[in-house]
Amino acid sequence: MDSNKIGVGLDIGTTKIVAIIGKKNEYGKLEILGTGYAKSVGVKRGVVTNITQTIQSIQQAIEEAEAVSNFKITDVSVGIAGQHIRSLHHSDYITRENPDSVINAADIERLTDQVHNLAMMPGEEIIHVIPQNYKVDSEPNINEPVGMYGGRLEANFHVVVGQIASIRNIGRCITNAGLKLSNITLEPLASAEAVLSDEEKEAGVALIDIGGGTTDLAIFKDGIIRHTAVIPFGGNVVTEDIKEGCAIIEKQAELLKLKFGSAWPAENKDSEIVSIPGLRGRDPKEITLKNLSKIIHARTTEIIEQVFQEIKKYGHDTKHGKLIAGIVLTGGGSQIKHLKQLVEYITGMDTRIGYPNEHLAGDSEEYLSSPIYATSVGLLMSGLEKMEQDDRLKDLEETVDMKDKANAEETQDEAVKQKMKPKRKGFFERWGDRLKDFLENAE
């Protein structure tokens, strides 16, 4: 890939909007050229509730990133998340006309497109169809059926569904901010790209991304995404509880949570007290760290238990569903002290905190290694990967064109066939193209 290719990841979160500009260096690591950060005002639980305010926040983050990098941003790679995202499992099949012919990519696309046409609830759109395994005639659990023979091709699918209005609002915000969409990724997949290793995805792992407004779950096994879920609670509800429980303002509650908070109340002694300045000349408030931790513990336990219900729903305790690599926590909410220990206690699974630093160049700013930037780094990676794919496709087309000219007379018919033969795209890429068309017609 041309090392001058520059990508932009834009994370539209509930708490913050981050724009991150970067390119790959000669070692394939991400060289970050600039970042922009803006407080997110018009987004609630991952859903755009005020388009005007969200556009302003996007523009602020983009302008800041442009000022740092001296690079004019036109195209962005954006994430989709929010409480409206849900997933379901579906089985479907096609009957092939000639069972004695080899199953090819066109058969798989026909089966996948059939699932895309499923009837959904009013206002919903299928945004993701991921095959889990196939069955050819009576032969089950096939990972790659291409090249086999059979009359009936069946598959189990993981289907991700979202609200049309919420998806379109993201498109409107991007367009009205004067930007173009180059790539779209489901946010839990972007975070997974940034913090999970291929070995973990193969062994079985649950990624829990605790954002400001939502907690996203993505479960991988045998290298394939098996389950996704969005829990409509995140770090903001913990801050809200501290604000109410200690009768202080939100800014103070957030600082308390990050500086002195713990998800494990036993860590604090009753004598440990923090003093909060009073408002406009009022007396300072004294808060015991034990009480603070009890508030945090109660809410984080509720969030983790809801996520654990989803992990159970996937079937982590079955022989084939075992998650050997355990749990990886990321996102801003994963920074609460002793959260790792609480998650291990509730789930009984090995847990680690996921940092996006593995993919960053050695001289990157230290703050970029924070779990807060997992999604934006992942979005930048997806954007650059999409550029690489487009380049490879372009090279392939040019090669075919040159061959066509050279062999114009001899293999005219064959060349025409080759040119007309559609290249099979990856499932994520096809979904991205489908969704991009959908968003571009969002006006």
pLDDT given for residue 433 in this prediction: 66
The answer to whether residue 175 is domain-embedded is no
pLDDT given for residue 431 in this prediction: 56
* pLDDT tens readout for residues 385-401: 888 887 887 777 777 66
The answer to whether residue 93 is domain-embedded is no
The answer to whether residue 272 is domain-embedded is yes
pLDDT given for residue 400 in this prediction: 65
The answer to whether residue 12 is domain-embedded is no
R_g over Cα of the chain: 24
The answer to whether residue 168 is domain-embedded is no
Q: Compute mean pLDDT per 10 residues along the chain, 443 residues long, and list them.
A: 76 92 89 92 87 94 94 91 85 92 91 90 87 90 90 92 87 92 86 94 96 92 90 92 90 91 81 82 85 94 96 89 95 93 96 91 84 93 86 74 58 46 50 62 55
The answer to whether residue 269 is domain-embedded is yes
pTM attached to this predicted model: 0.85
The number of beta carbons lying within 10 Å of the beta carbon of residue 427 is 17
The answer to whether residue 430 is domain-embedded is no
In angstroms, rounded to a whole number, what is the distance separating the alpha carbons of residues 260 and 433?
Answer: 45
Query: Concatenated DSSP letters for 61-116?
Result: HHHHHHHHHT----EEEEEE-STT-EEEEEEEEEE-S-TTSBP-HHHHHHHHHHHH
In angstroms, rounded to a whole number, what is the distance separating the alpha carbons of residues 102 and 239?
Answer: 58
* pLDDT tens readout for residues 107-132: 999 999 999 889 888 889 888 888 98
> Domain limits at 270?
235-295
Q: What is the CATH number of the domain that holds 253?
A: 3.30.420.40
CB-CB contact of 228 with 218 (8 Å): yes
The answer to whether residue 259 is domain-embedded is yes
Our count of domains for the chain comes to: 1
Of 263, 267, 262, nearest in space to 300 by CA: 263
CB-CB contact of 381 with 359 (8 Å): yes
* pLDDT tens readout for residues 171-199: 899 999 999 988 888 888 899 999 999 99
Parallel, antiparallel or unpaired: strands 30-39 and 16-24: antiparallel
pLDDT given for residue 42 in this prediction: 87
> Coil, strand, or helix at residue 20?
strand
